[in-house]
Structures are given as C-alpha cells and as structure tokens.
C-alpha cells in the first residue's frame, strides 16, 4: 500500500459490541482510498451495515481507531451521503422536498437550494418528477430519489447500504450503470455494501470480503478491469474469473 494514494479513511482493529452483548465487529482493518469505488461483500448479518454506520459517524467504535488522514469528514455536515437499503423517503413530502431535506437542515438559501435540487434530480434522471409524491413512484424511482438526496450536498464520500437489494434485476442493472457513470463524472469515493458477488465485481475497483461473528475483513480482491464497464464486461472472461475468485472467498468467509 506504500505507493497507493493517501487513504480517505482508515479503519484499524475496529471493534464494535452492542449493549445486548453481540460482538458485531472485531479487528476490522480497512483502508478506503480517495475517489475509490470499494465494495464490502459479505453474508447477511456479518456486520457490513455496522461498518458503514461506523464510517458515517452515526455510531462510535468500542475499540480500534478510525483515522481520516485528509481531515475528518464526519465533522462537517454534508460531506458524507448515506443511501439505505430502503429508499427511506418522507411519504408526506414531494420528491423535491425530500431531496431538499439536507439543504433545509443546513439552512441553505432557497434559490441556491432550488438550483441544487434540480441539478441532483437531473443527475438521477428524475427531472419533471419534482412534484410527485413517493408513493406514486416505482421502487427504482424511489431509490433514485434517495440517491439524489444523498448527492444534493455534493458529498465527498457516498456510503451505500445494499441500496439495490430490493429491486428487480432489470432495474438493478440500470441503476448499477447509472451509478458508475455518476461516480466517473463526479469526484466521490463510494463504499458500496452488498451481498451480491456479481454486483460487487461489476461496480468496484476493489472488493473487501467480510466474515461474520465477529465481523472482519478476510480478503481484499482487486478488480483491475478499466472503466467504463458495460454489458460486454459482464460476460467477459476477466469478469467471470474475478467473480469465481470473490465467490470462493465468500464461501470461505461463511465457513470460517
């Protein structure tokens, strides 16, 4: 890692135990580089979401350290965007009011907020839906709103917790491509939690495989294929090889 670019955030020996005695994470080591697209791949209940919540600063570790070499992003509001597994929209608010929420909480001026909401909605391909209510949208569109809300503060780090797990295959593939396109054009770092081997390999530059009880990283697999990646990549030999590798690592992790 000596010649790698400086990390955005580095987790060292992180340990997290919950009040009920569950040891969710122990000895978790992970470095996330600037502008990297990293996937955390693991079975259900291995503590992937806990790791993400630790990075976001929503919860604090019981042991180990989380270092931010270039400055702690959790100290400044809006530097981190979070996308949950469910769209987590406010059902009583229109699409634009949902996307506007982070700016409203920061008391950004109305005109500036309007502009940035429109920009975020355009980025996820939802221009023209600003006055719709969440329940009028399909599952994929709701997730796009959720992503727009995470983008509206122009975060440097985007944390995504199995965001497409509840969507159908076609919608998921489309959103995967759109997410990659956004990542390439914007200046973010993305940490993408998933339990899908294929999704993690397709999207990311590096896959960190987690094992459960206690949660820890057991292997890191680099995906060297260049971007842009498309449907050709999905059927290519390198893709299949990395998928086999990641799949084997996941099985090992589940047996461990």
Residues that bind another protein (CB under 8 A): 53, 56-58, 77-78, 80, 82, 84, 86, 88, 90-93, 101-102, 104-106, 133-135, 153
* Closest CB 153 distance from another protein, rounded Å: 8
Q: Which is nearer to another protein, 155 or 206 (CB)?
A: 155
Q: What is the DSSP string of 123-184?
A: HTT-TT-TT--GGGS-HHHHHHHHHHHHHTT--SEEEEESTTTTS-HHHHHHHHHHHHHHHH
Identify which of residues 88 and 247 has a Cβ nearer to another protein in the complex. Answer: 88
- Map residue 66 onto helix, strand or coil: strand
Smaller CB distance to another protein: residue 77 or 122?
77
* Smallest distance from another protein to CB 95, Å: 12
**Shortest separation between residue 3's beta carbon and another protein, angstroms:** 34
- State both tokens at 234: 């999905």
Give the integer Cα–Cα distance in Å for 191 and 186.
15
In three-state secondary structure terms, 114 is helix
The residue among 77 and 222 lying less far from another protein, judged by its C-beta, is 77
CA geometry: angle 182, 35, 211, nearest 5 deg: 100
Shortest Å, Cβ 39 to another protein:
21
């Amino acid at each position: 890692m000596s010649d790698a670019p400086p990390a955005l955030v580095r987790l060292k020996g992180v340990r997290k135990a919950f009040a009920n005695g569950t040891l969710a994470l122990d000895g978790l080591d992970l470095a996330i580089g600037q502008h990297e697209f990293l996937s955390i791949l693991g079975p259900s209940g291995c503590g992937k979401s806990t790791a993400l919540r630790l990075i976001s600063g929503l919860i604090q570790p019981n042991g180990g350290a989380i270092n931010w070499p270039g400055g702690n992003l959790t100290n400044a509001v809006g530097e981190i965007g979070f996308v949950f597994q469910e769209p987590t929209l406010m059902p009583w608010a229109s699409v634009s009011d949902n996307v506007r929420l982070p700016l409203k909480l920061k008391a950004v001026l109305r005109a500036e907020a309007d502009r940035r909401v429109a920009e975020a909605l355009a980025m996820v391909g939802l221009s023209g839906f600003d006055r719709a209510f969440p329940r009028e949208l399909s599952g994929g569109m709701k997730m796009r709103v959720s992503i727009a809300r995470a983008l509206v503060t122009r975060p440097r780090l985007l944390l995504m917790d199995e965001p497409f797990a509840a969507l159908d295959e076609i919608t998921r593939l489309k959103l995967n491509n759109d997410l990659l396109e956004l990542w390439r054009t914007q200046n973010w770092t993305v940490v993408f939690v998933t339990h899908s081997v294929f999704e993690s390999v397709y999207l990311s530059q590096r896959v960190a495989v987690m094992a459960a009880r206690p949660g820890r990283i057991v292997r890191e697999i680099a995906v060297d294929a260049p971007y842009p990646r498309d449907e050709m990549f999905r059927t290519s030999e390198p893709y299949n090889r990395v998928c086999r590798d990641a799949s084997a690592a996941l099985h090992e992790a589940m047996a461990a």
